[in-house]
Amino acid sequence: MPAPARLNRALLAALAVSGALATAWLGRWQLHRADEKIAQQHLIEQQAELPALGVADLARADAARDQGRRVVLTGRWWHKRTIYLDNRPMDGRVGFIVVTPLRLSDQRVVLVQRGWVPRNFADRQALPTLPQASDEQRVQGRLIAAPSRAYELGAAQGTSSIRQNLDPAAYAHEIGAPLLPITVLQTDADGDGLLRHWPAPDLGVSKHHGYAFQWFALCALISGLYVWFQFVRPRRAPKP
């Protein structure tokens, strides 16, 4: 075999081996990420079984460690600072997720993702009418890291009541009050008309499994094509 042909075959073999190894490594990395998400899901489930936290316990709460932990809080709604997160489906319908700051009994403020309301399609800027309770409320829920997020072009925070997403840090600056570094997902039914059919937390385990399958399939394809064109096809070609 001429030297250029041997060099080409060696280069092709190196590329094939490198491609197969790289895609196999990426597949294993996606499986590792899936295992991490499964462990995180188990931690959230374990947190949900622990006793509920109260107002005094929130000073020690951590969004990563205590995600899923039940809470029972007392405070007053800061109604005029309510935010309506747009384009949020629930039960097959499109509407708003309502997020309202809650002034706790110790005067600290925490964001509460309260529930869902349908939007007015005749007037897309119309806000739903919600009860405006001024007395102290008892709120039950569980801890989440931040309010629900949806895909958004750009990173505009905006200052209107209707928004695509809500950044807690920017919102705290906007309202002039520091927020506790956690969000409460309200779960109790208190007669305010909001739906709270919250889906189970989805940490994307199936996504990582899907990516792993794609990388392993690409690894098999690279290996199969190399074997076919370098070994099988030449042997099956008719001899001159």
Displacement of CA 34 from its chain's centroid (Å): 14
* The pLDDT value given to residue 239: 64
* Domain assignment of residue 21, yes or no: yes
Displacement of CA 17 from its chain's centroid (Å): 36
Phi, psi of 75 (to 5 degrees): 180, -175
The boundaries of the domain holding residue 146 are 69-186
The three-class DSSP label of residue 117 is: strand
The three-class DSSP label of residue 85 is: strand
Q: What is the pTM of this model?
A: 0.78
Q: Are 179 and 101 in contact (CB under 8 A)?
A: yes
- Within a 10 A sphere around the Cβ of 151, how many other Cβ atoms? 7
Per-residue pLDDT of the chain (240 residues; tens, 9 = 90+): 576 777 788 888 999 999 999 999 999 999 999 999 898 888 888 888 899 999 989 888 888 789 899 999 999 999 999 999 999 999 999 999 999 999 998 889 999 999 999 988 888 788 888 888 889 999 999 999 899 888 776 555 566 899 999 999 999 999 999 999 999 999 997 778 899 999 877 778 999 999 999 999 999 999 999 999 888 888 776 766
214 with 174, same domain: the answer is no
73 with 161, same domain: the answer is yes
Amino acid in position 129: T
* The pLDDT value given to residue 96: 95
75 with 172, same domain: the answer is yes
Report d(CA 147, CA 13) in Å as an integer.
50
Q: How far is CA 65 from CA 40, 134, 145, 209, 217, in A?
A: 10, 33, 10, 25, 36
132 with 226, same domain: the answer is no
